[in-house]
Amino acid sequence: MAAVLIDGKAVSASVRAQLKEEVQALREEGITPGLAVIIVGDDDASHRYVRNKKKGCEELGIYSQVHMLPKETRMEELLSLISTLNTDPLIDGILVQLPLPKGLDEKRVIEAIDPGKDVDAFSEVNVGRIMIGNYTFLPCTPAGIIELLRHANVEIEGKECVVIGRSNIVGKPMAMLLMHANATVTICHSRTKNLSEVTRRADILVAAIGKPKFVTADMVKPGAVVIDVGMNRDENGRLCGDVDFEAVREKAGAITPVPGGVGPMTITTLLKNTVTAAKLHHASR
């Protein structure tokens, strides 16, 4: 039997409808959450993500600014913009779209963002807080995935979860959130030996490798829940995930499609974090 499709668009729409009401109530109190997005260079995919973030803000009534900078932008200019936004009372969240063009130091840029406005939760302080389990902002993609699993009634506690990919943006924080939800977690990566043997143990398999159709049916346990974080182009230039969707859906119990799975949830978490930041800023003023 083919897997149940986990519909990220539908879950995202329901979470955003709730958030919209929350933003409306805040605005009636005179608090308008504000997000500043900085994008450097002209990478098409990054520009598409940023457009979706802006659109998400508009739909919810969140104020947004997009700062588009040329790829020749120097560190000092970028740091100076971040410093201005750090003290701008209209701005509750700051997001610098990654990856940055060569020559710009991502680590330094992330650390320049006020941790109270770091709605990506990428800074050292926020990552540390996630590790301890005492966080303000949840990392966008992993938190979106947890929300998807909850909405799909997938129990996490006690389950074998395997995450493929160890990036700071997805793999590592994903493992941490699954562990906070009482799963037994394994992180695999490019040097993992006998990868298929490990992935076949997974009740919940999260693919975040960035390689088109990397996860094949033989790597999946029958009935497993498969979460696809990938956003790639296949040999015909069509959008595809890290999972060979057509083959794996015949074996899995549930699966997220690409597009329409994890992607919309990432932006939903960002919007949620921006609202959280606005509430905190208002409470401390």
What residues act catalytically?
A: 53, 97, 120
Pairing assessment for the beta strands 4-5 and 254-255 based on DSSP bridges? parallel
Do residues 56 and 114 lie in contact, with contact meaning Cβ atoms separated by under 8 Å? Answer: no
The three-class DSSP label of residue 205 is strand
Q: Which two tokens stand for residue 127?
A: 């990552």
Supply the minimum distance, in Å, between the C-beta of residue 269 and ligand GUN.
9
> Residue 32 or residue 167: which is nearer to ligand GUN going by CB?
167
What does the H/E/C string look like for 164-178?
Answer: ECCCCCCHHHHHHHH
> Residue 241 or residue 249: which is nearer to ligand GUN going by CB?
241
Supply the minimum distance, in Å, between the C-beta of residue 50 and ligand GUN.
9
Supply the minimum distance, in Å, between the C-beta of residue 192 and ligand GUN.
23
> Residue 11 or residue 95: which is nearer to ligand GUN going by CB?
95
- Chain residue at closest Cβ approach to ligand GUN: 98
Which residues of the shown chain bind ligand GUN in the complex (CB under 6 A)? 95-98, 120, 140-141, 169, 266
Query: Cα dihedral sign for 193, 258, 59, 71?
Result: positive
Supply the minimum distance, in Å, between the C-beta of residue 169 and ligand GUN.
5
Give the Cα-Cα-Cα angle 45, 47, 50 (nearest 5 degrees). 110
| Cα gap 219→225, rounded to integer Å | 12
Do residues 213 and 191 lie in contact, with contact meaning Cβ atoms separated by under 8 Å? Answer: no
Supply the minimum distance, in Å, between the C-beta of residue 98 and ligand GUN.
4
> Residue 35 or residue 161: which is nearer to ligand GUN going by CB?
35
DSSP character string of 29-53 = TT---EEEEEEES--HHHHHHHHHH
> Residue 148 or residue 198: which is nearer to ligand GUN going by CB?
148
